Structure 1
């Protein structure tokens, strides 16, 4: 049984992760308990702690920024849930990355897009839009990384089409800020023939919304 009251609360089915995150934000000494929770054998504690850390990264990114290297290391974790949490947390920490540490891990961060795991790639592409919202200087470069999804080889062709759908959503957020819009628009236009109906629909909506921006 874990002796930490915080982790005991996290382990409860009805625990309010938002409130627990606020509690840690108000008392930074509890932060070490969350990191200990990531090592717990109990799934509820491990993944609950991960969830609370994600919330903290959204509400108070400066609190977790000193631990950025820890989360970068988690990108290589064999535990996918911790890896996906790290992807989201790092994106949130970009808001306070005044020393441009993210630029040094750029290739590592976006590697999953041209790897082979659908969910990890989709999570990375989703987070990419948030990174771009904080790192305006990287918007063009991030769009280039997202476009690599078209040449990716995930578990099945359907997996590819699902991730392409997420790519369209993220590119939709980036599109107004892009100086070079044509490659993105051409990519989305090709998805009008995508075999996945939901992805085709995303492409149709994107083109309808952004056609005028291309003509400017």
Structure 2
């Protein structure tokens, strides 16, 4: 497929599954999707990003030959492309394992220190995929999340407590997933307890769910 032909298809704004299927049928499509993300100035690049993300969910091995280019997009000046890669790249770990993580690790971990809650949230949502392949990273990632009260998030350039509370919601969702097998169960339970009266209802609800998992008698808070 030629680039202009693919661009015409992307402008139709079909479901990302449609464009992923194009990639499955035609091996010229995937590198074109990546090229569009790298170079295109129009909104078409967002359709390309969604298609690549869908491929990472369904057939991640097809993206492995382009891993270095996708990792390079973590430096994109376009935040939506960069943040999309935070969701796409962990999908490659299942197919490419530690080699892929080793290449992306330094750049990816920076997102856990981001002052943009959207970037931080995307990274947190993929912790499970990372730890499934690289469980040793728990000792790096989970302490960063537990210490969120020392983290500054900005909204329109101004420090925002509300954004921090949004981040806590992302963290608690992650903790709910990781709690049963985590070495940080006691710390996670304490974090949940501190957020039972959070200003955001979603945060309170997730904190209560985690506290139920950590109730005495479940055996889940013992090391």
TM-score, scaled relative to structure 1: 0.89
Q: Decide whether aligned partners of structure 1 residues 172 and 27 sit closer, same or farther in structure 2, where only a CA change above 3 A counts.
A: same
**1:163 and 2:167 equivalent?**
yes
Q: Deviations over 1:123-145 (max 9, x none)?
A: 11112222223333434433223
Q: Deviations over 1:11-54 (max 9, x none)?
A: 113x13202202202221222221232122221x1100010000
**SS of residue matched to 1:4:** helix
Aligned counterpart for 2:198 among listed residues 194, 198, 207: 194
**SS of residue matched to 1:214:** coil
Structure-to-structure mapping, 1:89-168, within 5 angstroms: 89-155=88-154, 156-168=160-172
Q: CA deviation at 1:104?
A: 5.0
Q: Is the 8 Å Cα contact of residues 3 and 32 (structure 2) preserved in structure 1?
A: no
**SS of residue matched to 1:164:** helix
Please report the RMSD computed on the Cα atoms of aligned residues, expressed in angstroms: 2.0
Unaligned segments of structure 1, at least 5 residues? none
Q: Decide whether aligned partners of structure 1 residues 3 and 185 sit closer, same or farther in structure 2, where only a CA change above 3 A counts.
A: closer
Unaligned segments of structure 2, at least 5 residues? 155-159
Counterpart in 1 of 2:5? 5
Q: Distance in 2 between matches of 1:141 and 1:100?
A: 18
Structure (1 or 2) with the greater helix fraction: 1
Q: CA deviation at 1:148?
A: 3.5
Q: Deviations over 1:176-215 (max 9, x none)?
A: 1113321222112111132222211210111113432115
Q: Distance in 1 between matches of 2:190 and 2:99?
A: 31
Q: Decide whether aligned partners of structure 1 residues 96 and 145 sit closer, same or farther in structure 2, where only a CA change above 3 A counts.
A: farther
Q: CA deviation at 1:154?
A: 0.3
Counterpart in 2 of 1:214? 221
Moved more, 46-55 or 191-200: 191-200
TM-score, scaled relative to structure 2: 0.86
Structure-to-structure mapping, 1:33-112, within 5 angstroms: 33-38=32-37, 39-43=39-43, 45-112=44-111
